[in-house]
Amino acid sequence: MVFALEFENLTKEYRSFASRRRLLALDGFSLRVETGEIFGFLGPNGAGKSTAIHLAMGFMRPTSGTGRMLGQPFGYARARRRVGFLAENVALYHRRAESLVRFYGALNGLRGSCLAKRAREALEAVGLQDQASRNVGKFSRGMLQRVGLAQALVNDPDLLILDEPTSALDPLARVAVRELLLKAREDGKTIFLSSHLLSEVELVCDRVAVLHRGRLVRLGRTVDLLQSGEQTEIVARGIAANAFAGAMVQDGVVRFTIESSKQRTALERVWSLGGEILSVNPVRRSLEDIFLEVTADQESKGEGAQ
Amino acid sequence: MRTIFLIAVNFVREQRWPILVLLLWVLLLAFLGLVTDVHRQREDLLFIFKQVAVYVVVFSVFFGGSAIHNERKSRRILAVLSKAVGRQQYLSGLVGGITIACTIYCFALGITGSWTLGEAGFSVQQVWFLMLYLVAASMLAGTIALMFSTFLNPFFAAGATAMVLGLPALAAHVGAGWEYIIPVYSLSAAVLKSSFNPSGDLLWIPLGVAVLETIVFWVLAARIFARMDIAVSVE
């Protein structure tokens, strides 16, 4: 299988020249992103997400380990011709939006009428076709992020690496970007998406990875992760509030949540206590729940180790 | 090659305001030449012309010393290097941009100098050759500053460049010919010492050495820059 991105046991250590302090941003990080998938890359601030992306783009050299992007070693300039990249807190030159997108397209080898066409299409894709002749310096942060996305799309890339692409966008623009990503996947593109907006990630990503303190702590298909540890909410009446741990009572109605695997036992217990079942509903976990669970777990492990 | 050209033109575009101010400075010189009695004050005019001309070397050091730092600080370098642009190409573009900026300055100075110095009765045959000297000197000085700026902040890069450029001045005391080891000094000195005498000899050798050394320092800069983590904050 051809992978769009491969991180092989990557370690990145930042060293401060003056204070001799060391910071381990990535610690033996390995990950493979398959072609044609939307991959969500999650982690709390300082987890090493941007470092991993910067290593892939060749902005940095790893302390140890290797990696490949579209089959070429990280840092190989020609491989980037097929890559679109949007950095977190995008910074662009102050010139007319269309001229700017053309500039970046030209840097990726596009020429003449093809370049003009692609620049127009990229601006249209992010909804900025009416702002093409305006100077980017006068754009709002959200618009700037959309121009950043347009410059990433201008070369019709096979691999899109997006670092927080929707952080400054309003809900409408977010929906548009989501549709754009889904369309890109339909066209066979690979998208590597780093985001703190977990609801967005949950909606579009095929697989997700959670990074914590430079280590990969969870990896899997989004559907599988959401189904893991599934829970059920049971609402009953006619039983005592303390019959089930964590149960809440309101107007004589008892509401409690249990693991789905223990659902049958719980229902039989309600009946044996003379209670009446009012409803049984599966509780869907969100990616946010999983993210919080994983990071909290890692934090406690870290504290335990100390 | 087109990538290098695009980066060079973009550099000039980003530096348009400093370049414009420098051009206004040159125009001011021309204006002074126009309003003063150039025949009575011709030595003063020559002195000012030479001084303003040699400033271009200083400007090139500032351009070279701050180019990478500014791009990294603003994070604009990330969008450029996320494209199919090698780091060597990026540096070549910056060297090209510095050279274009200095050439614009020297061209404007050549035009106004030809006119004002001609009005004052000097021979202007050598003006353009001297401008070529200055372009070569500024290209080399800018590249050395760029090389230092790959690992030093602009202030230290400018300081280190000044030291390197000053070395030949000391070396000149050792023996004849040593001032050409890094010919920025000898090229600038040729401009400063020029009497604008039509019989004065100007050599091609320092020009050739300057171009060769520009390539050498560019290779050095590229080697160092290839190992740098550019996404790390420069603060």
B34 alpha-carbon distance from chain centroid = 27
Interface contact B82-A78, CB threshold 8 A: no
Residue A229 is predicted with a pLDDT of: 66
A151 and chain B: CB distance < 8 Å anywhere? yes
What residues in A contact B82, CB-CB < 8 Å?
57, 80, 83, 85, 87, 152
Contacts of A10 (CB under 8 A, 6+ apart): A26, A28, A29, A30, A52, A55, A62, A64, A65, A66, A67
Q: For residues B123 and B101, what is the distance between their CA atoms, to the nearest angstrom?
A: 27
pLDDT tens digits, one per residue of A147-190: 999 999 999 999 999 998 887 788 888 888 888 889 889 989 99
pLDDT tens digits, one per residue of A105-134: 999 989 989 999 999 999 998 888 888 899
Q: Where in chain A is the domain with CATH 3.40.50.300?
A: 3-226
A85 and chain B: CB distance < 8 Å anywhere? yes
Q: What average pLDDT does this structure show over B156-179?
A: 83
Mutate to test the interface with B, among A49, A51, A57, A59 (most CBs of B within 10 A): A59
Interface contact B229-A61, CB threshold 8 A: yes
- Nearest CB to A151; choose among B3, B13, B79: B79
Q: For residues A16 and A49, what is the distance between their CA atoms, to the nearest angstrom?
A: 20
Q: What average pLDDT does this structure show over B77-88?
A: 93
Contact between B135 and B59 under an 8 Å Cβ cutoff? The reply is: no
Residue with tokens 């025949």: B39
Identify the band that residue B148 occupies on the pLDDT scale cut at 50, 70 and 90. very high
Mutate to test the interface with B, among A107, A149, A156, A163 (most CBs of B within 10 A): A107
- Average pLDDT value for chain B: 86
A157 and chain B: CB distance < 8 Å anywhere? no
A146 and chain B: CB distance < 8 Å anywhere? no
- Average pLDDT value for chain A: 87
Rg of chain B, C-alpha, whole Å: 19
A267 and chain B: CB distance < 8 Å anywhere? no
Residue with tokens 């060079």: B8
Q: What average pLDDT does this structure show over A204-229?
A: 85
Burial B180-208, CB ≥16 within 10 A → b, else e = bebbbbbbbbbbeebebeeeeeeeeebbe
Q: Own/partner pairs for A171-179, CB < 8 Å, 24+ apart?
A: A173/A127, A173/A142, A173/A146, A174/A200, A176/A126, A176/A127, A177/A126, A177/A149, A178/A203, A178/A204
Host H or E run for residue A22: strand A22-34
A103 and chain B: CB distance < 8 Å anywhere? yes
Beta bridge partners of A39: A192, A207
Residue A19 is predicted with a pLDDT of: 65
Residue B198 is predicted with a pLDDT of: 65
Residue B88 is predicted with a pLDDT of: 93
CATH number of this structure's domain A229-283, picked from the four choices 3.30.1490, 3.40.50, 3.40.30, 3.90.550: 3.30.1490
Gap between the terminal Cα atoms of chain A: 41
Is pLDDT at A101 greater than 90 in this prediction? Answer: yes
What residues in A contact B74, CB-CB < 8 Å?
91
Q: What token pair was written down for B208? A: 């050739």
Q: For residues A33 and A83, what is the distance between their CA atoms, to the nearest angstrom?
A: 14
Contacts of B107 (CB under 8 A, 6+ apart): B131
A204 and chain B: CB distance < 8 Å anywhere? no
A26 and chain B: CB distance < 8 Å anywhere? no
What residues in A contact B85, CB-CB < 8 Å?
77, 80, 107
Q: For residues A11 and A65, what is the distance between their CA atoms, to the nearest angstrom?
A: 6
Q: For residues A118 and A156, what is the distance between their CA atoms, to the nearest angstrom?
A: 8
Interface contact B81-A83, CB threshold 8 A: no
Q: Which residue has the higher pLDDT, A296 or A77?
A: A77
B89 min Cα distance to partner chain A (Å): 10
Residue B63 is predicted with a pLDDT of: 93
A21 and chain B: CB distance < 8 Å anywhere? no
CATH topology of domain A3-226: Rossmann fold (3.40.50)
Interface contact B83-A50, CB threshold 8 A: no
Tell me which range, A21-25, A145-149, B41-45, is most confidently predicted by mean pLDDT. Answer: A145-149
What residues in A contact B83, CB-CB < 8 Å?
80-81, 104, 107-108, 155
Q: What token pair was written down for B194? A: 């020029």
Show which residues on chain B lie within 8 Å of chain A, measured between beta carbons: 2-3, 6-7, 10, 13-14, 74-76, 78-86, 89, 227, 229-232
Residue with tokens 């990696």: A67
- Nearest CB to B80; choose among A89, A107, A148: A107
Contact between B142 and B102 under an 8 Å Cβ cutoff? The reply is: yes
A57 and chain B: CB distance < 8 Å anywhere? yes
Q: Which residue has the higher pLDDT, B202 or A240?
A: A240
- Nearest CB to B78; choose among A59, A107, A108: A59
Q: Which residue has the higher pLDDT, A30 or A198?
A: A30
Structural domain boundaries in chain B = 2-225
- Tell me the whole-structure pTM to 2 decimals: 0.85
Task: Find the DSSP H helices in B75-172.
Answer: 76-81, 87-119, 127-149, 154-171
Q: Where in chain A is the domain with CATH 3.30.1490?
A: 229-283
Interface contact B2-A77, CB threshold 8 A: no
Residue B38 is predicted with a pLDDT of: 61
